[in-house]
Amino acid sequence: MLDKKQLKKEQIIQTALELFASKGFYSTTIPDIALSLKMSVGNMYNYFKSKDTLAIEIIKYISAYLGEKLKEINEQEISTKEKTRKIVEIYFKTASLKPEMIDYFLRIYLSNREVFKESCEGMLCVNEFVTEIMIYFEEGVKCGDLREQDFFSAFGLFMGYLGGMVFLKGENVLPKDLNDYVDDITFNIYKALSAE
Amino acid sequence: MKKKMRVLWLSAIACNGNTHSFLNYPYMEQFLDDFEFIYHPVIDSEYSLEDIVSKEITCDILLIEGAISKEFKRADVSVVDIIEKYSKIVQKIVTVGTCATFGGIFRESGYEETSGLHFDKEEPLKTHKDLLDKTISVSGCPVHPEVLVNTLYAIKKSAALKLDNFLRPKEFYAYTVHNGCTRNEYFEYKVDNHRFGELEGCMFYDHGCQAPFTHGSCNKILWNEVNSKTRAGVPCMGCTEPTFPRQNLFSTKKNMAIPENLPVGVGKRVYLTLAGISKAFKIDRLEKKLIDD
Ligand code: SF4
Ligand code: SF4
């Protein structure tokens, strides 16, 4: 069971995520977040020492959340193609249900590197998520479904495509619902990575 | 005069590499004070190979070097028959080297059902099961002379050797060759800028080092008392294992940049998580050359 402090932390993370998404990272202050939660600013600092610490905790939280979902997919006895589809689905589902999460990843984590430089070197803060993507690739190559290649070129292809679609959706330029693209996108990604 | 142990060194399908390795044992004089060969293919001995196959000469330990096949003969007698005859009278049988233990490089040539005495690679064999209690395996291509000699002394002293699943003395085969390599720090921080023969870098990521999953004492008991492959800058080729020899010994098999074989007992998820963390460090000292920069 999550203890009280952990629960409160998650509430703060969720609220901060929503505010960052609507007002932007730099214009949202700790007092704004405290106000939204009806907490005192002093009490807020008991949970997160600074906005930067909060920012780092948020990206770790998102990585753990997505990592857990991917782990469930990786542990199923299904073909790499089916796994690919499930990963696309879960990513889009998260983007629809918790748009602020994916938004945070794309707009804040990837574009404000200075905030994350200190304790998030390399892939440290998104480790859980990246590890599961690695396992998806590794198992795909091992069973002969996917082509052996440099990890980052494969990773960039996969995540760049998904991120790009969510970004387009966020900008309201996609004519259809995200979920309507799952088949096509799965096909394209799989075709690009596959060994055939 | 104290009693010497009588040893028969029988060569099956072999390149004599274990013999050569054994000849580098630094305290040979002492050894020959304690053991005598009733027959050895290159060391002077009391009996000839013909004597060995035609008579039954008293003997305490049977050493087998080389892979075994029913079709293979020494002095016109099948090696399997020679083994069977002597195995009945000796106290212990020692399979010397990887060929005698698992089949090794000769098994790969595909000659007439070639295998080790008790194993065909990892597969336990049904034949010679009655000898299991007598056998100790000292694998290696070639075996390290000290591992062989110390095993023989343990037999002489009737010391109880604990064996692993492949009948190898745990004393020498419970560690991995990775244990004691001077490049461990490079392995820890995932620094792989290795060049053959140089002091820097770990060979696990690119150059095929199999030490993290190879059982042996190579970095604890040095070769010729001075060095080991990995210390010198050449990857461990896993020569003590049933899988030896595999192909492409100088490159690491990877799937999407992830090594296919991981250190013994380390799960993939755990390995990737740890690797991800250590890769985040950039340690200048390890990126540079240590000497002559
Ligand atoms: S070179 Fe081989 S033995 Fe040495 S640290 Fe690297 S993996 Fe281990
Ligand atoms: S370092 Fe590896 S390949 Fe070399 S002798 Fe030792 S176990 Fe065999």
Tell whether B209 and B229 lie within a shared domain.
yes
Query: For ligand 2, is residue B259 a contact (CB within 6 Å)?
Result: no
For residues A194 and A137, is the Cβ–Cβ distance under 8 A?
A: no
**How many domains, chain B?**
2
Q: What DSSP string describes B24-79?
A: T-TTHHHHHHHEEEEE-SSS--SS-HHHHHHS----SEEEEESBB-TT-EETTEEH
B144 and B238 co-located in one domain? no
Q: Are residues B12 and B145 in the same domain?
A: yes
Specify the pLDDT at position B293. 63
In a domain, B215, yes or no: yes
Domain that holds residue B126: 5-173
Residues B189, B275: one domain? yes
Six-digit token pair at B271? 């390995």
Taking CB atoms and an 8 Å cutoff, what residues of chain B touch A124? 276-277, 280
Same domain, B224 and B166: no
- Domain final residue pick, B173, B203, B235: B173
Q: At what angle do helices A127-142 and A80-97 cross, to 10 degrees?
A: 160
Choice among A65-79, A106-120, B6-20, B35-49 with the minimum mean pLDDT: A106-120
Question: Domain for residue B87, yes or no?
Answer: yes
Residue B178 located in a structural domain? no
In a domain, B71, yes or no: yes
CATH number at residue B103: 3.40.50.700
| Residue B254 lies inside a defined structural domain of this protein | yes
Complex ipTM tops 0.90: no
Reported as a single tens digit per residue, the pLDDT across B255-268 is 988 999 999 999 99
Same domain, B140 and B36: yes
Q: Where does residue A172 rank: exposed (0-12), middle (13-18), buried (19+ CB within 10 A)?
A: exposed
Assess whether pLDDT exceeds 80 at residue B193.
Answer: no
Residues B189 and B169 grouped into a single domain = no
Q: What is the pLDDT of residues B130-151, one digit of tens each?
A: 999 999 999 999 999 999 999 9
Q: Which of A112-116, B102-106, B249-253, B283-287 has the lowest mean pLDDT?
A: A112-116
For residue B259, the chain A residues in CB contact (below 8 A) are none
- Residue range A110-131: average pLDDT? 83
- Write down the pLDDT at residue B1: 55
B268 contacts A127? CB cut-off 8 A: no
| Residue A171's pLDDT band (cuts 50, 70, 90) | confident
Q: Of A42-46, A70-74, B161-165, which gets the smallest average pLDDT?
A: A42-46
Q: Within a domain: residue B161?
A: yes
| B59 labeled binding residue | no
Residue B165 has pLDDT above 80, yes or no: yes
Pair type for strands B5-11 and B92-96: unpaired
Are A185 and A161 within 8 A, CB to CB?
Answer: yes
Q: Give the CATH number for residue B277.
A: 4.10.480.10
Distance between CA B49 and CA A162 in Å, rounded? Answer: 73
Parallel/antiparallel/unpaired status of strands B254-255 and B258-259: antiparallel
User: Which residues have a Cβ under 8 Å from the Cβ of A55 and sit 6 or more positions away?
Assistant: A25, A108, A112, A115, A116
Residues pairing with B64 in the sheet: B10, B95
pLDDT at B88 over 70: yes
**What SS3 string covers A11-70?**
HHHHHHHHHHHHHCCCCCCHHHHHHHHCCCHHHHHHHCCCHHHHHHHHHHHHHHHHHHHH
Quick one: B34 and B135 in the same domain? yes
A121-150, pLDDT tens digit by residue? 777 889 899 999 999 999 999 999 999 999
Angle ∠(A26,A31,A36) on CA atoms, nearest 5: 100
Residues 6+ apart with CB under 8 A from A51: A29, A30
Alpha carbons within 13 angstroms on the beta-carbon side of residue B213 total 17
* Residue B203 sits in the same domain as residue B227: yes
Q: State whether B168 and B188 are in the same domain.
A: no
What is the band of B2 on the pLDDT scale with cuts at 50, 70, 90?
A: confident
B181 is in an annotated binding site: yes
Closest CA to B92 of B141, B123, B136, B122: B136
pLDDT of residue B219: 97
Q: Which of B122, B146, B173 is the last residue of a domain?
A: B173
Pocket residue to mutate for ligand 2, from B172, B175, B179, B228, most atoms within 8 A of Cβ: B228
**Coil, strand, or helix at residue B215?**
strand
Of the pLDDT bands very low, low, confident and very high (cuts 50, 70, 90), residue B125 is: very high
B122: pLDDT strictly greater than 90: yes
- Greater confidence (B3 vs B13) lies with B13
pTM for the structure as a whole: 0.87
- Write the residue with the smallest CA distance to atom 8 of ligand 1: B178
Q: Looking at ligand 2, which residue's alpha carbon is closest to its atom 6?
A: B218
Alpha carbon distances (Å) from A108 to A55, A105, A111, B254: 9, 6, 5, 33
Answer with the one of B153, B173, B193 that is the final residue of a domain. Answer: B173
If phi > 0 it is left, if psi is from -120 to 50 it is alpha, else beta; for residue B76 that is left
